[in-house]
């Protein structure tokens, strides 16, 4: 697990000004820490795709936004990510909580064009959102890394820099609850 206060401090190091989010249980502690601290403005949106469009506008206006959403909501964002993130070349760090990661990772299975089918995606042993998120990121051309625990927190700055260098969205998958 990663401590919210460490993530918050890392976001501050990147001079993040806004976090666009739809809350979920895994990000609850981080959102609480952001609100308690008050330095970074949190904007809750009504749907995850909206987060990318508002973030793009904020960046055009000179701010430094980050998107914080769950993987299931990320799957909703396709056209917004394409049209307001990648197509606009917006350097944008996306923190995506990885619902269902533990069971899926423990399964030893891989989501490939050969294995991805309704049989797998309807198997109640696994969260289909977990199965789909990495293939979706790859399909949408979004580089990603993992944030498992405190030792991975510096990856936030690394992913942030990568987004700046590539001028595009870059994702960091948060596999456990923030605490």
Partner 1 sequence: MLTKHQFLATLARWRNDAVVITTMGTVVPWARFSQTPLDFASCDSAMGHAADFALGIALAQPQRKVICLNGDGSMLMTLGTLVTIVQTGAKNLILCVIENSTYEVTGNQPIPGAGVVDFTGMAKAAGFPRTYTIDDVATCERLLPAILSGEGPVFVTVKVAPDEDAPPSRRPDAQAPYLRISLAESVRQLRRALGSDQ
Site residues for partner 1, 49-78, by CB under 8 A, read 49-50, 52-63, 65
The candidate with the shortest Cα–Cα distance to 130, out of 148, 159, 103, 149, is: 103
- Is residue 24 within 8 Å of 70, Cβ to Cβ? yes
Stretch 2-21: interaction string toward partner 1, x if CB under 8 A:
----------------x---
Site of tokens 């949190």: 42
Taking the C-alpha atoms of residue 143 and residue 69, their distance in angstroms, rounded to an integer, is: 16
Taking the C-alpha atoms of residue 39 and residue 86, their distance in angstroms, rounded to an integer, is: 28
Q: Does 79 bind partner 1 (CB under 8 A)?
A: yes
* Minimal distance, residue 3 CB to partner 1, in Å: 29
Q: Which is nearer to partner 1, 90 or 174 (CB)?
A: 90
Q: Does 170 bind partner 1 (CB under 8 A)?
A: no
Torsion of CA 73, 40, 84, 46, to 10 degrees: 40
- Taking the alpha carbons of 14, 1, 162, 93 in that order, is the dihedral positive or negative? negative
- Is residue 96 within 8 Å of 133, Cβ to Cβ? yes
- Is residue 31 within 8 Å of 179, Cβ to Cβ? no
Site residues for partner 1, 94-133, by CB under 8 A, read none
* Minimal distance, residue 18 CB to partner 1, in Å: 8
Q: Which is nearer to partner 1, 78 or 109 (CB)?
A: 78
* Minimal distance, residue 97 CB to partner 1, in Å: 20
Among 16, 29, 45, 170, binds partner 1 (CB under 8 A): 45
Residues 6+ apart with CB under 8 A from 122: 128
* Minimal distance, residue 90 CB to partner 1, in Å: 7
Question: Which segment (29-37, 46-54, 123-131, 170-178) binds partner 1 by CB under 8 A?
Answer: 46-54
Footprint on this chain of partner 1 (rule: CB under 8 A): 18, 43-47, 49-50, 52-63, 65, 79-80, 82-84, 87-90, 167
């Amino acid at each position: 697990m990663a401590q919210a206060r460490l993530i918050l401090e890392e976001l501050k190091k990147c001079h993040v000004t806004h976090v666009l989010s739809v809350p979920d249980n895994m990000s609850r502690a981080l959102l609480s820490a952001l609100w308690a601290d008050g330095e970074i403005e949190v904007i809750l949106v009504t749907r995850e795709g909206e987060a990318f469009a508002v973030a793009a506008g904020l960046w055009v206006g000179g701010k430094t936004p980050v998107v914080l959403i769950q993987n299931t909501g990320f799957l909703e964002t396709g056209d917004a990510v394409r049209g307001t993130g990648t197509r606009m070349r917006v350097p944008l760090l996306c923190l995506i909580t990885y619902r269902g990661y533990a069971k899926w990772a423990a399964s030893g299975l891989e989501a490939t064009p050969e294995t991805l089918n309704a049989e797998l995606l309807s198997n109640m042993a696994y969260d289909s959102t977990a199965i789909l998120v990495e293939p979706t990121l790859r399909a949408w051309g979004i580089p990603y890394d993992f944030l498992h625990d405190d030792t991975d927190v510096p990856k936030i700055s690394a992913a942030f820099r990568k987004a700046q260098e590539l001028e595009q969205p870059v994702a960091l998958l948060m596999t456990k609850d923030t605490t």
